[in-house]
Chains A and B, each alone.
Chain A
Amino acid sequence: MHPLARMVLQRLGLGLVTLFVVSIIIFSAVELLPGDITQQILGQAATPETVAAFRKELGLDRPPVERYFDWLGGVMTGDFGKSLANQREISDLISGRFGNTLFLAGYAAVIAIPLSVMLGLLAALYRNSFFDRFINMATLSSISFPEFFVAYILIVFLAVRAQMFPAISSLNDDMTLLDMFYRAFLPALTLTLVVTAHMMRMTRAAIINLLASPYIEMARLKGMSQARVIVKHALPNALAPIINVIALNLAYLVTGVVLVEVVFVYPGLGQLLVDSVANRDITVVQASCLIFAGVYILLNLLADILSIATNPRLMHRK
């Protein structure tokens, strides 16, 4: 078998094991939440009898281990169960939301990744110049502010004053793709500002790290221009760390956008998660967390595979 294929299978297996462990952690953590949905819905006036009856109806009176395996069995067959709050199928509830989250993450990634790799290359090319310092300072400032703050600043200037973009990014099914891009512009820009610094600085550092290598000096002594030295000779050897930091930021874009979604009232998975935690709708919380974990593991797996696929030493054995 090709070593790459074997590694992919190996990592996939490991990923599944990790996901299993994560499912236990999610389930136990949710169990530890104080209060439950019956009290939330029935309110303070409910008698212990009505609470107990409601719990029995929802199946919450069974022991946790039994409920866990019940849940796990369902998940493995693709059935996440029903929402405790409104009895809708969780898969229906989540799929649209998750799609929205992926749309926003993809939108931000399409802007942020080329932008930050480009800026990183330019910063390496003109290192210690005014441009380099300016880019470093600008990206560091944007990462230093909390994301909701960045979001509000953007709303003040681009939505309230300039009135160029909507401050509320609610989506509905009738929108055209262009409309969706327009509506989601501000949250995507916020996310871009938050993740660019990280990727740009890693690109710059990974490239500069290699500039002292003998093969870079050799490229210079072959009369190659500085730009060619960096793009053609340094970049291919710096891909592994860059890919890893990109994967990490992609994972953040999918799983860490809760605040941004809340600020812009964007109908994503993160917002659903927050609402469900508040409602103690634990089945939805579990399902959302598990999906986030799966995305995280998959992206890291992808990063590993790409790092290996771009390394000729590992791709072409002796």
Chain B
Amino acid sequence: MTNSTETQNLLTIRGLRIEGKSGDHWNEIVHGVDLDLKRGEVLGLIGESGAGKSTIGLAAMGFTRDGCRISSGTIDFDGIDLVNATQKVRRGLRGHRIAYVAQSAAASFNPAHKLIDQYCESPIVHGVMSRDQAEKDAVDLYRRLHLPNPEDIGFRYPHQVSGGQLQRAMTAMAMASKPDLIIFDEPTTALDVTTQIEVLSAIRDVVREFHTAAIYITHDLAVVAQMADRVKVLLKGEEVEESDTRSMLNDPKEDYTKSLWAVRSFHAEPKADVSQACTPVVSIKNVTAAYGKVPVLHDVSFNIHKGRTVAVVGESGSGKSTTARVITGLLPASKGEICFNGKVMPGSYKQRSKDQLRQAQMIYQMADTALNPKQTIGEIIGRPVQFYLGLRGKDRLERVRALLDEIELEPDLYINRLPSELSGGQKQRIGIARALAAEPEFIICDEVTSALDQLVAEGILKLLSKVQKDFGLAYMFITHDLATVRAIADEVVVMQQGKVVEAGPKDIMFTPPHHAYTDLLLSSIPEMDPDWLDKLLKQREEAGQ
């Protein structure tokens, strides 16, 4: 490759406008975006949901989702006009010279075919190489991406391989035809932090080694800091600013970018230390539980006191949500007991009295699916008001209005709306109001902010801590996001494979020395420092030797 092609753009987008169909008319969702990408360069696209990141990334492949169209602008990929090219030309480029890595590898691998068959498909169909050659290449790439048993893993079906491994297998699949450009669409968002590191470093090494250009789409600033040479910030389909990664991190120009950077600064007020001697609101005593014959929890014990927030952290499969199910009685413990205010609760919710049920409420991760789409907000919140408190008619209505005030939504505007007429953050607020309606002493928050954008999530965290102060609530906060833990927890419980590995006040938990697993979790959280990943990998390598 000569120097002149090095400096030439591989991908040039000018004035790109994309429209999406809603009902009968077309709404513009990308408003004239420019983008330049050189060979071998990695561009980070960041922004909240609705910023148009994925839409632009797909457009770079000459692809629009059903119900979308490119209304104006040009997309030039190495001299080929992708907007006006025939379907055949565009198809010939996809999977061959431009490849795509999707957010959820588990959903994006075809469940009916083995990994190696899916790997070999593009190179064979595009006539890049023979099946034998492709299989050999696959093993080599699997090895470079640090997949276990690179010779054999290809002969497995997607469901037989873990999420982090699948994500790397998908990166390998994207590299199969040695493309010039790869679009990474949030490739690590669905992964645990510890797995994320392996995937990030694997992707980065391979992209560097093959000198592949990449567009890296993410909402996580710390991740983009590790991966991208340049960063473009998007908001509602428009570019906010663009510059190289280091100057963007050190010196953001626009207010919106600064606000993104500032999100992590929220911290709940530190609370006076309650005496550990008084009776805890909830106490979990030596709980062991199983799904059928599969044991999930082993001898789990911790307490939650009035007005305090206990964060339960751990990777997926560590037993966090199962603990919540045991507390609420959805899954009776096989050993051990759950006490509310010192009184032992019946194991199953079926045997608990209405008043016992009232004491513990839940807020769910997916507000979308946790709210009945056919009921108005007034009905959703009114139901527990009537069920637990016995209020009807005017009293019930007044109570619902008071709750809406509490969650900072104007009652007159919202009480008759359906969940589909609310934004994600507003839906989560309704989830909070519904939990409060029962006047509980204790609320379980199960990953309540992980489906939300950072700014919206911060609003929810602020609301939760205000509500906690107003009503003296005890929270059990299930999360895998340690930044959230830093922001609001009083105490932290670290779980791994169904056991509590470490527990204590937040300050102590975040100060070394840690339990080895806590240390792994903490050190795996990406930091805003572009050198963080390199430093960490080096550290771990040294420690490993």
Binding site for B on A (CB under 8 A): 212-215, 217-225, 228, 233, 236-237, 312-313, 316-318
26 cross-chain CB contacts under 8 A: A214-B104, A215-B108, A217-B65, A218-B100, A218-B102, A218-B108, A218-B110, A219-B110, A221-B61, A221-B63, A221-B95, A222-B94, A222-B99, A222-B122, A223-B93, A223-B94, A223-B96, A223-B125, A224-B121, A224-B125, A225-B91, A233-B112, A313-B157, A316-B156, A316-B160, A317-B160
Question: Does B125 contact A313, Cβ atoms closer than 8 Å?
Answer: no
- Nearest Cβ in chain A — how far from B433, in angstroms? 33
Question: Does B102 contact A214, Cβ atoms closer than 8 Å?
Answer: yes
Complex: A222 Cα to B66 Cα, angstroms: 17
Which residues of B have CB within 8 Å of A219? 110
Complex: A237 Cα to B110 Cα, angstroms: 8
- A221-B94, A223-B96, A316-B160 known; A214 vs B125 contact (CB < 8 Å): no
Which residues of A have CB within 8 Å of B95? 221-224
Complex: A232 Cα to B108 Cα, angstroms: 15
Question: Does B159 contact A236, Cβ atoms closer than 8 Å?
Answer: no
Given contacts A221-B100, A233-B112, A312-B157, 20 further A-B contacts (CB under 8 A): A215-B107, A215-B110, A217-B108, A218-B110, A221-B99, A222-B94, A222-B95, A222-B99, A222-B121, A223-B92, A223-B122, A224-B91, A224-B95, A233-B110, A236-B113, A312-B112, A312-B159, A313-B157, A316-B160, A317-B160
Interface centre among A212, A215, A217, A312 (most CB of B within 10 A): A215
Which residues of A have CB within 8 Å of B216? none
Question: Does A236 contact B107, Cβ atoms closer than 8 Å?
Answer: no
Question: Does A213 contact B159, Cβ atoms closer than 8 Å?
Answer: no
Chain A CB within 8 A of B317 CB = no
**Which A residue's beta carbon lies closest to that of B185?**
A221
Question: Does A318 contact B160, Cβ atoms closer than 8 Å?
Answer: yes
Indicate which residue in A217, A223, A318 contacts B159 across the interface (CB closer than 8 Å). A318
Question: Does A316 contact B110, Cβ atoms closer than 8 Å?
Answer: no
- Nearest Cβ in chain A — how far from B293, in angstroms? 15
- Nearest Cβ in chain A — how far from B331, in angstroms? 22
**Which A residue's beta carbon lies closest to that of B173?**
A222
Which residues of B have CB within 8 Å of A214? 102, 104, 107-108
Which residues of A have CB within 8 Å of B110? 215, 218-219, 233, 236-237
Q: Interface code B106-123, partner A: CB below 8 Å = 1, 0 otherwise?
A: 011111110000000110
**Which A residue's beta carbon lies closest to that of B113?**
A236
- A220-B94, A221-B94, A224-B125 known; A312 vs B107 contact (CB < 8 Å): no
- Nearest Cβ in chain B — how far from A304, in angstroms? 18
Complex: A219 Cα to B99 Cα, angstroms: 11
- Nearest Cβ in chain B — how far from A76, in angstroms? 38
Interface majority SS (helix, strand, loop, mixed), chain A: helix
Chain A CB within 8 A of B246 CB = no
Indicate which residue in A218, A224, A317 contacts B109 across the interface (CB closer than 8 Å). A218
**Which A residue's beta carbon lies closest to that of B63?**
A221
Complex: A217 Cα to B104 Cα, angstroms: 12
Q: Which residues of chain B from 56 to 71 have a CB within 8 Å of any chain A CB? A: 58, 61, 63, 65-66
**Which B residue's beta carbon lies closest to that of A236?**
B112
Complex: A313 Cα to B158 Cα, angstroms: 9
Question: Does B111 contact A313, Cβ atoms closer than 8 Å?
Answer: yes
**Which B residue's beta carbon lies closest to that of A317?**
B160
Complex: A221 Cα to B121 Cα, angstroms: 12
Binding site for A on B (CB under 8 A): 58, 61, 63, 65-66, 91-96, 99-100, 102, 104, 107-113, 121-122, 125-126, 156-157, 159-160
Which residues of B have CB within 8 Å of A223? 91-96, 122, 125-126
Complex: A313 Cα to B91 Cα, angstroms: 30
- Nearest Cβ in chain A — how far from B434, in angstroms? 30
Question: Does A312 contact B111, Cβ atoms closer than 8 Å?
Answer: yes
Which residues of B have CB within 8 Å of A313? 111, 157, 159
Which residues of A have CB within 8 Å of B121? 222, 224
- Nearest Cβ in chain A — how far from B163, in angstroms? 13
Sort A-B residue pairs by CB-CB distance and give the 5 closest, nearest first: A222-B95, A223-B94, A236-B112, A223-B95, A214-B107
- A228-B125, A312-B159 known; A213 vs B94 contact (CB < 8 Å): no
Complex: A213 Cα to B110 Cα, angstroms: 9
- Nearest Cβ in chain A — how far from B464, in angstroms? 32
**Which A residue's beta carbon lies closest to that of B117?**
A232
- Nearest Cβ in chain A — how far from B137, in angstroms? 16
Which residues of A have CB within 8 Å of B94? 220-223
Indicate which residue in A215, A220, A224, A312 contacts B63 across the interface (CB closer than 8 Å). A220
Interface centre among A223, A225, A233, A313 (most CB of B within 10 A): A223
- A223-B91, A223-B92, A312-B157 known; A237 vs B112 contact (CB < 8 Å): yes
Which residues of B have CB within 8 Å of A318? 159-160
Question: Does B126 contact A215, Cβ atoms closer than 8 Å?
Answer: no
- Nearest Cβ in chain A — how far from B298, in angstroms? 21
- Nearest Cβ in chain A — how far from B426, in angstroms? 26
**Which A residue's beta carbon lies closest to that of B112?**
A236
Interface centre among A228, A236, A237, A312 (most CB of B within 10 A): A312
**Which A residue's beta carbon lies closest to that of B104?**
A214
Complex: A236 Cα to B118 Cα, angstroms: 14
- A221-B95, A224-B95, A312-B159 known; A215 vs B109 contact (CB < 8 Å): yes
Which residues of B have CB within 8 Å of A224? 91, 95, 121, 125
Complex: A220 Cα to B113 Cα, angstroms: 16
- Nearest Cβ in chain B — how far from A227, in angstroms? 12
Complex: A317 Cα to B107 Cα, angstroms: 18
- Nearest Cβ in chain A — how far from B242, in angstroms? 25
**Which A residue's beta carbon lies closest to that of B66?**
A212
Which residues of B have CB within 8 Å of A317? 160
Which residues of A have CB within 8 Å of B104? 214
- A223-B93, A312-B157 known; A215 vs B61 contact (CB < 8 Å): no
Which residues of A have CB within 8 Å of B99? 221-222
Which residues of B have CB within 8 Å of A236? 110, 112-113
- Nearest Cβ in chain A — how far from B153, in angstroms? 13
Which residues of A have CB within 8 Å of B125? 222-224, 228
Complex: A220 Cα to B102 Cα, angstroms: 12
- Nearest Cβ in chain B — how far from A68, in angstroms? 42
Complex: A223 Cα to B82 Cα, angstroms: 14
Complex: A260 Cα to B232 Cα, angstroms: 70
- Nearest Cβ in chain B — how far from A202, in angstroms? 18
**Which A residue's beta carbon lies closest to that of B109?**
A215
Complex: A43 Cα to B94 Cα, angstroms: 82
- Nearest Cβ in chain A — how far from B101, in angstroms? 9
Which residues of A have CB within 8 Å of B122? 222-223
**Which A residue's beta carbon lies closest to that of B58?**
A221
Which residues of A have CB within 8 Å of B159? 312-313, 316, 318
Interface centre among A212, A217, A218, A318 (most CB of B within 10 A): A218
Which residues of A have CB within 8 Å of B108? 214-215, 217-218
**Which B residue's beta carbon lies closest to that of A315?**
B157
Which residues of B have CB within 8 Å of A212? 66
Question: Does A237 contact B93, Cβ atoms closer than 8 Å?
Answer: no
Complex: A49 Cα to B110 Cα, angstroms: 75
